[in-house]
Amino acid sequence: MAQAGAEILIVPNGSPYWMGKQETRYGVAETRVAETRRPLVYVNQVGGQDELVFDGASFVLNADEELAVQLPAWEVALAVTEWHREGGRWHCLPGPVAAVEEGDAANYLACVTGLRDYIDKNGFPGVVLGLSGGIDSALCAAMAVDALGAERVHCVMMPYEYTSEESLSDAKAIAEALGVRYDIVPIHKSVEGLNESIGKLFEGLAADATEENLQSRARGTLLMAISNKLGPLVLTTGNKSEVSVGYATLYGDMNGGFNPIKDLYKGQVYALSRYRNTHRPKDCRGPEGLIIPESVLTKDPSAELKPGQRDQDTLPPYEALDDILNCLVELELPIAEIVARGHAPELVKKVERMLYLAEYKRRQAAPGVRSRRRISAGTAATPSPTNSASGCRCPSPSDLRRAPRDGFMPGTSARRCSTICSRGSTAAISSSVSTTPIRRARPRRSRKASRRTLSGSASSGRSSCISPTASRSTKARSRG
């Protein structure tokens, strides 16, 4: 480009957000500037489009790799940039340098932005969701109010005989704190009617998860009825930890048209709930102060589908489950490396097995905000089963032959093997830019301008001027 006469590199982009993405962008931009010795103007889109969310955060790097301008993330922004020509090269004078959210602040804004644009661009009047008194639905309700405003959010508690008084009081407290419409619709008659209808077919058989799932499916049916009659989109509220391993009910709690926390592990759900209790992020429409009661944050998670039920009766502790899933899905580590992190081999293999067997459920899940580079729903995003012979995560020919019987995902490609085995650990196969050269670029950071980041409270700074960060995409899909 320099040889062709380019004097300033202008890079219009539709670069979707994932955790840590801004550092990736800086690294790629610095590499291009170092190669061409030309200043670079990075202009990124902002807003949501289906599962993707774009965070904006446009910036200008001078030819010496100094950060001259940084626009804020998660908002449409304009900035006037002033350029001088020095020694035959263009140089951008220092302009506004906004703080760019990181960590919990960025993840929360990603979920809110994605939810808001999905609802608005598709023309829905609002959302309806089941408010159980648990942590997942509480966070989704808070995100919905922050995205749309309390007047467009409808929360419904659907108790059964196993619903605790604590859950009833917690759900009421959350709804009151958010200022949303809140209704209680008991499901006793619905569940008993279903049990009676199918009773003769199950005569002589002991009650099991079938009867438990009827409760969830009754709730899902009622929420869909509200959606059909009144028009709001049903939000589903399953987190990534549970949906990844199939701890969710098809046509029950998985009912819905969008899931704002689809790409958040259970530990992140707790972290974002605590974050929202202490911060009101920018451009959010919900109230300040405590929204999710401490009792919701400290009680044992439970689906409350039978007496005394706890999530940990079926699942490993969430700290272990989240780490194992992160290793399997995002990092694609071989079993041996996951075990070396302190997990029992039997537990790792069990979680891996659950992950593959739940593929058919994930393929029927609602779309949701994507906040990670890799996801556990969909075809290419699901990791390959472990090849026990080589210890890598590439399926052997015999694995592929027995795939349907063992629950391995049909069509898993062995083309990963050369990439994975040659490096000793896996590297995600992605069309995105590799992060390898970015790490090499990091030593040059010592002579760059300080880049302000924000991981606690959201930035209140706004830039005004010319050179738009990007306008929100207006493309919309029809309601289906």
What amino acid is encoded at 241 in this protein? Answer: S
Q: Kindly report, residue by residue over 60-113, the tens digit of the pLDDT.
A: 999 999 999 999 999 999 999 999 998 889 999 999 999 999 999 999 999 999
Who has greater pLDDT, 445 or 139? 139
Q: Kindly report, residue by residue over 395-454, the tens digit of the pLDDT.
A: 444 443 333 333 333 333 333 333 333 333 322 222 233 233 333 333 343 334 444 444
Is 278 within a domain?
Answer: yes
Q: pLDDT over 90 for what percent of the chain?
A: 70
Q: Is the same domain home to 91 and 183?
A: no
* The pLDDT of residue 170: 96
Is 49 within a domain?
Answer: yes
* The pLDDT of residue 1: 67
* The pLDDT of residue 86: 85
* The pLDDT of residue 254: 94
Q: Kindly report, residue by residue over 303-357, the tens digit of the pLDDT.
A: 878 888 888 788 899 999 999 999 999 999 999 999 999 999 999 999 999 999 9
Is 406 within a domain?
Answer: no
Q: Is the same domain home to 86 and 149?
A: no
Task: Calculate the CA 103 to chain-centre distance.
Answer: 12
Is the per-residue pLDDT at 169 higher than 90?
yes
Q: Is the same domain home to 123 and 216?
A: yes
Domain count, the chain: 2
Is the per-residue pLDDT at 465 higher than 90?
no
Identify the weakest region by mean pLDDT among 15-29, 120-134, 178-192, 382-396.
Answer: 382-396
Is 262 within a domain?
Answer: yes
Q: Is the same domain home to 147 and 285?
A: yes
Give me the CATH number covering residue 83.
3.60.110.10
Is 409 within a domain?
Answer: no
Range 112-140 average pLDDT? 97
Q: Is the same domain home to 200 and 289?
A: yes
Q: Kindly report, residue by residue over 34-70, the tens digit of the pLDDT.
A: 999 999 999 999 999 999 999 999 999 999 999 999 9
Q: Is the same domain home to 202 and 257?
A: yes
Q: Is the same domain home to 84 and 116?
A: no
Task: Calculate the CA 83 to chain-centre distance.
Answer: 39
Is 460 within a domain?
Answer: no
Q: Is the same domain home to 204 and 319?
A: yes
Range 144-170 average pLDDT? 96
Q: 126 φ, ψ to 5°?
A: 170, -160
* The pLDDT of residue 2: 63
What amino acid is encoded at 105 in this protein? Answer: A
Is 335 within a domain?
Answer: no
Q: Is the same domain home to 28 and 123?
A: no
Give me the CATH number covering residue 135.
3.40.50.620
Q: Is the same domain home to 223 and 297?
A: yes
Is the per-residue pLDDT at 380 higher than 60?
no
Q: Is the same domain home to 218 and 313?
A: yes
Is 379 within a domain?
Answer: no
CA–CA dist 302, 366 (Å, integer): 22
Q: Is the same domain home to 167 and 110?
A: yes
Residue 89: domain span: 9-98+433-454
Arithmetic mean of pLDDT over the chain: 81
* The pLDDT of residue 449: 41
* The pLDDT of residue 133: 94
Identify the weakest region by mean pLDDT among 152-161, 182-191, 211-220, 423-432.
Answer: 423-432
Range 448-473 average pLDDT? 37
Q: Kindly report, residue by residue over 214-252, the tens digit of the pLDDT.
A: 999 999 999 999 999 999 999 999 999 999 999 999 999
* C-beta neighbour count of 163 within 10 angstroms: 19
